[in-house]
Chain A
Amino acid sequence: MDQPARRDFVRTLGVCLVAMQLPRPLTALAAARGTEPASLARAEWRCVEAICAEIIPTDRDPGAAEAGCANFIDKALAAEDAQALPLYREALAAIDALCVDAHGHAFADLDGAWRQRVLTAMEQGTLTGWTAQMARAQDFFATIRFHALLGFIADPKYGGNRDYAGWKLMGFPGPLHMVGGVTPEQMIGRQPVMPVWATTANDGHGGGHR
């Protein structure tokens, strides 16, 4: 398969099949119910959490672990992204199985260097022992990479971006319509902009609170 076609495939699987479904419960509603798993089994959740932590690592600033990217993915797979759940199930099982075979531990129990080696091999399509049939290793990697990224920086109402970790990292103040607008002095940088987390309750935006 050539490069553009593969990209299309990834985009389709990871994001867009979603939009082809009939209306389902919104991820935001699932996320509002709490942080208990809604679609993933405990072991699957741990694996997702560990992969996300490598995709957006924690350094001097919070990463995927603190932002709750696994919770975002779990809630999305229970709602708009439900079509991708079987793919996740199969791929996560394949990853844990090949890690146990090669290292005697599930992915989440490997140290950071080994995790990165496994993910690099997935990304490059050179991973041995990939048994999943629904997608190639590199396609699943691209899918979970994109979902982790969305979990980090999408509106907190979807269950990720906890405490606005993603927006704080990027220096994005959030949607400001509900906090009174912005002056020309703020646009040019002579006065600071008050971010939404300094002015609203930390329960997300929009439909969630009015």
Chain B
Amino acid sequence: MAPRRRQVFDVCVVGTGAGGGVMIDELTRAGMSVVALERGPRLGHADFMGHDELSNVIRGTGFAPKLRETLRRDETETAQPRRFSMIGQCVGGSNVHWGAMSWRLRPDEFRALSQDGPIAGASLADWPVDAAEMAPWYDKAEAAYGVAGGAVHNAPRPGRRYPNPPHPPRSGSQVFDRAVRKLGYAPFPIPIAVNSRPYRNRAGCTNSGMCVMFGCPVDAKASPISVGLPRALATGRLDLRPQSLVHELAIDDTGRIRAARYLDARGDQHEVRARQFVLAGGSLGSAHLLLMSRSGRFRDGLANGSGLVGRNLMYHVLPAVYYLHETVTRGWLGPISGQAIDDLHASDPARGFVRGAVVTEAYPATPIVYATSAGGLWGAALKDYLRQFNRVHALIGIGEDLPVHGNRVDLDPTHTDASGLPVWRITHAHHANDLKLKAYYERKMTEIAAAAGAERSWVVDMTQGSTGHFMGTCRMGADPEKSVLDRWCRSHEVDNLWVVDGGCFPTSGGYNPTLTIVANAYRVADHFAREARRLNLR
């Protein structure tokens, strides 16, 4: 048998989150040998039982202890080290600690440019795929992830139900339900990829809370570690290598990728060879790796002839309103779930901005998350604020933010990580349209709070906090000058390079992005396997 370092795998997948998990699962199932390189450790149920808010939300030691990054608003500033990204760097990626809200995009969200025309200061684009092409892959993603809910939202044909029924309601949901009905809106259960009953060898949720920002100790929450990776490992064709930090994709004389170079937990250098390379490190991680992979042929980073690698970084704008009500919420029980309305979503320039948002319940479900909304309160006022935890109801909008050329991730010129590699630098300022959208939804959510009979309500500004919804940086499109990837998430320039994560999104859509990442990965994996069978992949 050939020694391990000589082996040439069919496929090397870098990153094991929502996109990589699907690719690994589908390609091993199709008979290919896959090596998966994951920078973080492989966590398990015992780790998730031991996690708490201090480790996961505040210190990041639970999911991303080695994360280093810098942040600035524009090119004139010097980026400062700061913990900003709520991402998971472990086997399963951010999909392990996600909130599990699982939405299909609306048809118009695949063609924002056609619908709303060019917008000054934004780089709006249509997706190279539409809702009709995505529909069967959404079906597949919802089935694999066991999404719980009522009628499938944004399904092309009415009548389709999610594979699992909705989760039982919490007391706070009744308050939301009455309020929005009074205003003429139509509430419905948020579709959520947490089992509401035992499903496909995974347990049902025990409603124990501590869900978003936590791993699931019973595998009721869908992610690669509960869905795709166990199957892939069972094929015997997956070589899963945790704690393998890929820092360079090395090319051969013809400009194809020859090998991935990575550092193991001890900092020792390794190289793994494969015929095809799938990047799935997330919008930040994948762009970061391409930009680190410079060579004579690719001076500005691999596959970056367009100059767009890292650009058009989006992460949603999140209008939020909290309100105090006599009814205890019990928001700390169950998965995140709850009710949503989507009556205010459709883009309407008459509102003074374009694009839109879904509006959902989103309780501050754990003590520290709630307490961080207390601003600078101290003394008796802080204590009273803490006492109100169980009666504070919350609304959040997932606002579609516009892609902006100057919003980007690149290599920080001074800061390095523990291995001496340049950290990623985020340069981001919201487009004026984002802030108008935010203000509009804050007004609408304040109306809902009033209709609920709130004792008082207040806006919570989430633009100062952190986010996990990273999208863009490797947009797909038909034109190699205006996009990084083609419609199959394959590089226009390097024929054995694919990027299958949120990076391919040309625009962000007004919903949590993960189900679209998963569905798109199924679409790409199907094409990939067909091309392999036709011997079109070398």
**A contacts, CB < 8 Å to B:** 4, 7-8, 11-12, 15-16, 18-20, 22-23, 54-57, 59, 61, 63, 80, 116, 119, 123, 142, 145, 149-150, 152-155, 157-158, 166-167, 169-173, 175-178, 180-184, 186-189, 193, 205-208, 210
Contact assessment for A57 and B380 in the assembled complex, using a CB-CB cutoff below 8 Å: yes
Contact assessment for A12 and B80 in the assembled complex, using a CB-CB cutoff below 8 Å: yes
Tell me which residues from 369 to 401 in chain B have a Cβ below 8 Å from any Cβ of chain A.
370-371, 374, 376, 378-380, 382-383, 386-387, 389-390
Identify the closest chain A residue to B49 (Cβ): A206
**B contacts, CB < 8 Å to A:** 46, 49-54, 58-61, 65, 67-68, 71, 80-83, 168-171, 174, 206-210, 217-218, 328, 330, 332-334, 366-368, 370-371, 374, 376, 378-380, 382-383, 386-387, 389-390, 418, 464
Q: How far is the CA of A176 from the CA of B209 in the complex (A)?
A: 7
CB distance from A54 to the nearest CB of B (A): 6
Please tell me which one of the listed residues B170, B332, B334, B378 contacts residue A172 in the complex, with CB atoms under 8 A apart.
B332
Q: How far is the CA of A180 from the CA of B218 in the complex (A)?
A: 11
Q: How far is the CA of A193 from the CA of B331 in the complex (A)?
A: 13
B residues less than 8 Å from A154 (CB atoms): 52-54, 58, 368
CB distance from A134 to the nearest CB of B (A): 17
CB distance from B190 to the nearest CB of A (A): 15
Q: How far is the CA of A15 from the CA of B386 in the complex (A)?
A: 20
Can you offer 11 A-B residue contacts whose CB atoms are under 8 A?
A16-B82, A54-B378, A54-B379, A56-B386, A123-B376, A150-B54, A169-B387, A184-B207, A188-B170, A206-B50, A208-B50
A8-B80, A158-B54, A210-B49 known; A145 and B378 CB under 8 Å?
Answer: yes
A residues less than 8 Å from B332 (CB atoms): 172-173
A residues less than 8 Å from B206 (CB atoms): 176-177, 180-182
B residues less than 8 Å from A183 (CB atoms): 207
Please tell me which one of the listed residues A20, A56, A80, A166 contacts residue B81 in the complex, with CB atoms under 8 A apart.
A20
A57-B379, A187-B207, A188-B171 known; A19 and B83 CB under 8 Å?
Answer: yes
CB distance from A186 to the nearest CB of B (A): 7
A residues less than 8 Å from B370 (CB atoms): 170
Q: How far is the CA of A183 from the CA of B168 in the complex (A)?
A: 9
CB distance from A124 to the nearest CB of B (A): 10
Please tell me which one of the listed residues B50, B67, B171 contacts residue A207 in the complex, with CB atoms under 8 A apart.
B50
Identify the closest chain A residue to B80 (Cβ): A8
B residues less than 8 Å from A23 (CB atoms): 65
Identify the closest chain A residue to B51 (Cβ): A206
Which of A23, A80, A150, A180 has the largest count of B CB atoms less than 10 A from its CB? A150
- Tally the A-B contacts, defined by beta carbons under 8 Å: 159
Q: How far is the CA of A80 from the CA of B58 in the complex (A)?
A: 12
B residues less than 8 Å from A208 (CB atoms): 50
B residues less than 8 Å from A182 (CB atoms): 206-209, 333-334
B residues less than 8 Å from A57 (CB atoms): 379-380, 383
Please tell me which one of the listed residues B333, B368, B380 contacts residue A186 in the complex, with CB atoms under 8 A apart.
B333
Contact assessment for B209 and A150 in the assembled complex, using a CB-CB cutoff below 8 Å: no
CB distance from A78 to the nearest CB of B (A): 15
Which of B68, B371, B387 has the largest count of A CB atoms less than 10 A from its CB? B371
Q: Is the interface of A mostly helix, strand, loop or mixed?
A: helix
Contact assessment for B207 and A205 in the assembled complex, using a CB-CB cutoff below 8 Å: no
Q: How far is the CA of A201 from the CA of B16 in the complex (A)?
A: 38
Contact assessment for A7 and B52 in the assembled complex, using a CB-CB cutoff below 8 Å: no
Q: How far is the CA of A113 from the CA of B133 in the complex (A)?
A: 68
Give 10 new A-B contacts, CB below 8 A, not counting A8-B80, A175-B210. A12-B80, A150-B368, A155-B53, A170-B370, A171-B387, A172-B389, A172-B390, A182-B209, A186-B330, A187-B168
A residues less than 8 Å from B81 (CB atoms): 12, 16, 20
B residues less than 8 Å from A16 (CB atoms): 81-83
CB distance from A42 to the nearest CB of B (A): 25
Contact assessment for B209 and A175 in the assembled complex, using a CB-CB cutoff below 8 Å: yes
Q: How far is the CA of A180 from the CA of B207 in the complex (A)?
A: 10
Which of A19, A152, A193 has the largest count of B CB atoms less than 10 A from its CB? A19
What are the 7 closest A-B residue pairs judged by CB atoms, nearest first? A181-B206, A206-B50, A184-B168, A207-B50, A171-B390, A170-B389, A176-B208
Contact assessment for B50 and A188 in the assembled complex, using a CB-CB cutoff below 8 Å: no
Q: How far is the CA of A104 from the CA of B179 in the complex (A)?
A: 58
Q: How far is the CA of A198 from the CA of B97 in the complex (A)?
A: 28
Q: How far is the CA of A47 from the CA of B334 in the complex (A)?
A: 41
CB distance from B464 to the nearest CB of A (A): 6
Contact assessment for A153 and B464 in the assembled complex, using a CB-CB cutoff below 8 Å: no
Contact assessment for A56 and B382 in the assembled complex, using a CB-CB cutoff below 8 Å: yes
Contact assessment for B217 and A177 in the assembled complex, using a CB-CB cutoff below 8 Å: yes
B residues less than 8 Å from A187 (CB atoms): 168-171, 207, 330, 333-334
Contact assessment for A189 and B171 in the assembled complex, using a CB-CB cutoff below 8 Å: yes
A residues less than 8 Å from B328 (CB atoms): 171, 189
B residues less than 8 Å from A186 (CB atoms): 207, 330, 333
Contact assessment for A59 and B380 in the assembled complex, using a CB-CB cutoff below 8 Å: yes
Q: How far is the CA of A176 from the CA of B81 in the complex (A)?
A: 35
CB distance from A157 to the nearest CB of B (A): 8
Contact assessment for B386 and A181 in the assembled complex, using a CB-CB cutoff below 8 Å: no
Q: How far is the CA of A208 from the CA of B82 in the complex (A)?
A: 30
Identify the closest chain B residue to A22 (Cβ): B418
A residues less than 8 Å from B389 (CB atoms): 170-172
Identify the closest chain B residue to A76 (Cβ): B54
Q: How far is the CA of A177 from the CA of B209 in the complex (A)?
A: 8
CB distance from A62 to the nearest CB of B (A): 10
Identify the closest chain B residue to A23 (Cβ): B65
Please tell me which one of the listed residues B61, B171, B210, B367 contacts residue A170 in the complex, with CB atoms under 8 A apart.
B367
Contact assessment for B61 and A172 in the assembled complex, using a CB-CB cutoff below 8 Å: no
B residues less than 8 Å from A63 (CB atoms): 383
CB distance from B216 to the nearest CB of A (A): 9
A residues less than 8 Å from B379 (CB atoms): 54-55, 57, 116
Identify the closest chain B residue to A184 (Cβ): B168
A177-B217, A206-B49, A210-B46 known; A169 and B208 CB under 8 Å?
Answer: no
A residues less than 8 Å from B368 (CB atoms): 149-150, 153-154
Contact assessment for B59 and A15 in the assembled complex, using a CB-CB cutoff below 8 Å: yes
Identify the closest chain B residue to A183 (Cβ): B207
Contact assessment for A175 and B376 in the assembled complex, using a CB-CB cutoff below 8 Å: no
Please tell me which one of the listed residues B83, B171, B383, B464 contacts residue A169 in the complex, with CB atoms under 8 A apart.
B383
A173-B332, A177-B210 known; A188 and B168 CB under 8 Å?
Answer: yes
CB distance from B414 to the nearest CB of A (A): 14
A153-B386, A182-B334, A183-B207 known; A206 and B68 CB under 8 Å?
Answer: no
CB distance from B422 to the nearest CB of A (A): 15
Which of B58, B218, B370, B390 has the largest count of A CB atoms less than 10 A from its CB? B58
B residues less than 8 Å from A7 (CB atoms): 464
Q: How far is the CA of A155 from the CA of B210 in the complex (A)?
A: 12
